[in-house]
Structure 1
Amino acid sequence: MEPSQKVQPGGSERPQDESGLVLRLDRLRPEKRIMTAKPQAAKAAPAAIPNLPQHEPVEPEKKPKAPLPRETKKTVVYRSKRLHGLSQRVRNGISGTVMSLLAIVLLPTVAAGLYFAFVATPQYVSEFRFSVRPSDATQFQASVALESALIISNSYIVAEYSASRETVDALEKTVGLREIYSNEGIDYLSRLDPDASVEQLVSYWKNRITTHFDMATGISTIAVSAFTPEDALKITQELQLLCEKLVNDLSEKARKTQMAFAQSELDLAEQRLKDARDRDVALRAGQQSVDATKEAEGKLQLAARLRSNLSDLQSEFVTLSSYLDASSPKIAYLKKQIAAAEQQVANLQAQVGGGDDGSGTMSANDATRISQFEASKTDIDIATKLYQSSLQNYETARMKANSNQLYLATFIHPNIAQLAAYPRIFVDTFVFFLCTLGAWIVLTLIYYSVRDHA
């Protein structure tokens, strides 16, 4: 600020610059007025005495007492450069700030209001509400957090899918999305370019769809806007079918993934059982025996009976030989029976495969055959039990997977709109005004900040 001081007697004159900040000191203390008046009078008296010759004494003339000076008023003016410049701009015309306000805020707001009121094509909205639920909610009673996480995850999946390119491609094939939104009856700013690329179509579709998920209730809302009620209803119904198909596909994929391990274990157990049975059949065919164990037991029993008969014959022969002649027919007959019994035992031992060591035990060949047969039987038993366990696990997994299936529970279906939802003339215009006003304030602050620091 530049201070400048002007003393105006009587305060009759006004400052030339009315735009400055004026501080007036209109009254002074009386003591100071008297002190300033006496020196002025003393100085004025000698100036009033005429120059006389020195040889003529002259009595000094009595001059009238000089009047006291009038009370003066002092005005101190402080000028502000910024206020002075503002006053100059106001006197010269409209300031740049006002011009920028008109250009950035007022005129665009008026144009936006006229567009919303007379140019913009009405938009109609159709929506549906749903919740992604498990088919059997009783299994989640012990874990509410697990059920909530499952519902939230799948709901967000549906919301993201509804705005994806895959959805746009499916709707383009079924309802002709590009043709609907590029109709000539739609205003230029809202109409889709008929030659738009797929990426531009997806970006345009994201502006025509609204998704919302309520965390408290688990309810999802999908709304679609179009420029006729019929188009909005048709698109929303087809989008609902796509979302239901998505949930069903996800559920089926989860079910197959959950059953894949059980199915693989069942296949392994079944193959193991088949291999064990094939080895057993090959072993039986190689041994030419249905049951080597039972055959060996039969041979042992037959051999025991033959040995018992042979022992009886030999005992009778010894007894008869003690008192009969060797040429007796009875002795000859016993010799023939003993020889026949010994031949039968020898033949049986040959069939068994190695003879007898005299203690009534089997040969090593029969033991090997029975050992192989028992090992094959054990493998079959283990493979059978493993197969039964795998089959039971598979059934359990199948029942659990079926109970874990998800479905899209739609409780509010799409309906045809009666009134246009957009544009909201006053609300949209006011929002546009607030946006432009905020932009103007930011730009103005940036301009003055740069100018003050330049």
Structure 2
Amino acid sequence: MPPTVIVRPLPAVATLKRRHRGLLYSLAAVVLIPLFITALYLGLVARDQYASTVGFTVRQEDGTSGATSLLGGLSQFVGTSGGSRDSDILYEFIQSQEIVSEISKRIDLVGLYSQNWPWDPVFALSPDATIEDLLDYWKRMVRISYDQSTGLMEVRVLAFSPEDAQKVASEVVRESQKMINDLNTTAREDTMRYALEDLDTSLTRLKGAREAMTQFRTRTQMVDPSSDLAGRMGVLNNLQQQLAQALIDRDLLLDQKGGPGDDPRLQQASRRIDVIRQRIVTERQSFTSATGEPSALPENYPSLISEYERLNVDQQFAEETYRAALAAVDVSRANAARQSRYLAAYVRPTLPETSEFPRSWDILGLMALFLTLAWAIAAMVFYSIRDRR
């Protein structure tokens, strides 16, 4: 008996199940259709954008003039801030509402960027945009690259025509230079004002010190107590020498007479000695006390010398301060005569020939990536929840 061969039936033709059709429909709705619409918009509606690039940095003059150098380097105390800090200010200024308002006075930015409205609502600006809307749009169209370590700044301006992009970039450079000039003017005015205020203060101090010295000399009738004391010490030394000589003369007379007697020369010598001794006592008292002759000073010499030295130190300090203030004023005037800060452009505003934006392939690629990820995650979550029921 021949063997029996069992033939299995052929598998049925594979067909899309409801689950598979749901995935395809969701893929088309979430990924493919948005990508197709975006591609049509970028290819047919969105207008080409041109980028004009300009690069500059803020430089500060390091050298000093000959007159300034002779003043002992005082310019470092009346100088301005460094170029790096100025670049930080300029970086914020280019993104501010002020520069947008100033450029709008010369260029109709709203009209320039709303040419394709309302056909291109994504990349064009509304004609009814407020200054706040214009500022937000400005930050989209003007992109800044700033290296704080070197102070180099590169600005890229986007517009719908090469000429408009270059024109706006030139206005950015113009307003930036104006900002630097304003910083220069403000710094010079502040420096000059502070220097003049210091000069007035030092002059008032010098006048007060000299007036106090004049009052002291008027009260004491002495130009310099130290010199007056030296003169009085000379008088005292002379009196002591005369006393010593008078004592010697009297001793010689006593030796000649053999003892005291009625010799008028001895009496005269004794009276001379007494007078000299009394004068020495009076001179010594005039140094340290208020007693003595009617012409004696109301203060003693130590207090007078101490007061004079204090007044002299105050006057010398006031004179040095006044000279330093005068030098600072000269330095400020020398710095005011030149521009210490200036904008150095290392890349002039370029005139583009090829549109670089919008970058359609980059936009479509990123959009496809994120939409696909979102669709895949949503599908996995949906079917995971459904399978658990």
Q: TM-score, normalised by structure 2?
A: 0.62
* Aligned residue number for residue 114 of structure 1: 44
Contact 2:49 2:357 (C-alpha < 8 Å) held by counterparts? yes
Q: How far does the alpha carbon of each residue in 1:114-152 deviate from its partner, in whole angstroms, 9 at most, with x for none? A: 224xxx2x4443332123445449xxxxxxxxxxxx877
Pair 1:227–1:302, CA change in 2 (3 A): same
1:354 is aligned to 2:291 = yes
Task: Determine the C-alpha separation between the residues in 2 that align with 1:302 and 1:158.
Answer: 76
* Aligned residue number for residue 33 of structure 2: 103
Deviation of the 1:201 alpha carbon: 1.1
1:452 is matched by which residue type in structure 2? Y
Task: Determine the C-alpha separation between the residues in 2 that align with 1:163 and 1:215.
Answer: 16
After superposition, where does 1:98-177 map in structure 2 within 5 Å?
99-100=28-29, 102-116=32-46, 120=47, 122-136=48-62, 155=87, 158-177=90-109
* Aligned residue number for residue 172 of structure 2: 239
1:368 is matched by which residue type in structure 2? S
Task: Determine the C-alpha separation between the residues in 1 that align with 2:19 and 2:183.
Answer: 74
Partner secondary structure for residue 222 of structure 1: strand
Pair 1:260–1:295, CA change in 2 (3 A): same
Using CA pairs under 8 Å that are at least 6 residues apart, name the structure with larger relative contact order, 1 or 2. Answer: 2
Deviation of the 1:449 alpha carbon: 1.4
| Structure with max Cα Rg | 1
* Aligned residue number for residue 75 of structure 2: none
Contact 2:54 2:345 (C-alpha < 8 Å) held by counterparts? yes
Of 344, 368, 381, which aligns to 2:303? 368
Task: Determine the C-alpha separation between the residues in 2 that align with 1:88 and 1:123.
Answer: 44
Contact 2:50 2:161 (C-alpha < 8 Å) held by counterparts? yes
* Aligned residue number for residue 8 of structure 1: none
Pair 1:287–1:178, CA change in 2 (3 A): farther
Deviation of the 1:270 alpha carbon: 7.3
**More displaced 10-residue stretch of structure 1: 123-132 or 258-267:** 258-267
Task: Determine the C-alpha separation between the residues in 1 that align with 2:382 and 2:236.
Answer: 126
1:449 is aligned to 2:380 = yes
1:172 is matched by which residue type in structure 2? S
Deviation of the 1:368 alpha carbon: 3.5
* Aligned residue number for residue 355 of structure 2: 421
Q: How far does the alpha carbon of each residue in 1:145-181 deviate from its partner, in whole angstroms, 9 at most, with x for none? A: xxxxx87776565444322223223323454433443
Partner secondary structure for residue 165 of structure 2: helix
Task: Determine the C-alpha separation between the residues in 1 that align with 2:20 and 2:62.
Answer: 78
Contact 1:112 1:432 (C-alpha < 8 Å) held by counterparts? no
1:96 is matched by which residue type in structure 2? Y
Q: How far does the alpha carbon of each residue in 1:383-425 deviate from its partner, in whole angstroms, 9 at most, with x for none? A: 2697499779979x98xx99xx66432122224x36352556x
1:431 is matched by which residue type in structure 2? D
Pair 1:450–1:125, CA change in 2 (3 A): closer
Deviation of the 1:221 alpha carbon: 1.7
Contact 1:130 1:221 (C-alpha < 8 Å) held by counterparts? yes
Of 208, 227, 231, which aligns to 1:294? 227
Of 136, 139, 154, which aligns to 1:206? 139
2:213 is matched by which residue type in structure 1? D
CA RMSD of aligned residues (A): 5.8
Deviation of the 1:219 alpha carbon: 4.0
Of 335, 338, 346, which aligns to 1:411? 346
1:355 is matched by which residue type in structure 2? G
Pair 1:451–1:279, CA change in 2 (3 A): same
Structure 1 residues not aligned, in runs of 5+:
1-33, 35-67, 138-149, 357-361
Contact 1:355 1:363 (C-alpha < 8 Å) held by counterparts? no
2:304 is matched by which residue type in structure 1? R
Pair 1:368–1:109, CA change in 2 (3 A): closer
Pair 1:85–1:286, CA change in 2 (3 A): same
Partner secondary structure for residue 192 of structure 1: coil
Deviation of the 1:205 alpha carbon: 0.3
Pair 1:88–1:418, CA change in 2 (3 A): closer
Pair 1:254–1:418, CA change in 2 (3 A): closer
After superposition, where does 1:222-301 map in structure 2 within 5 Å?
222-247=155-180, 275-301=208-234
1:162 is matched by which residue type in structure 2? I
1:106 is matched by which residue type in structure 2? F
**Paired positions, count:** 345
Identical-pair percentage:
23
Contact 1:354 1:365 (C-alpha < 8 Å) held by counterparts? no
Q: TM-score, normalised by structure 1?
A: 0.54
Pair 1:302–1:157, CA change in 2 (3 A): closer
Contact 1:109 1:432 (C-alpha < 8 Å) held by counterparts? no
Pair 1:202–1:351, CA change in 2 (3 A): same
Partner secondary structure for residue 74 of structure 1: coil
2:25 is matched by which residue type in structure 1? G
Deviation of the 1:209 alpha carbon: 0.9
Task: Determine the C-alpha separation between the residues in 1 that align with 2:220 and 2:369.
Answer: 99
Contact 1:128 1:414 (C-alpha < 8 Å) held by counterparts? yes
Pair 1:284–1:203, CA change in 2 (3 A): same
Task: Determine the C-alpha separation between the residues in 1 that align with 2:229 and 2:41.
Answer: 110
Pair 1:186–1:239, CA change in 2 (3 A): farther
Deviation of the 1:378 alpha carbon: 4.4
Contact 2:157 2:169 (C-alpha < 8 Å) held by counterparts? yes
Contact 1:130 1:219 (C-alpha < 8 Å) held by counterparts? yes
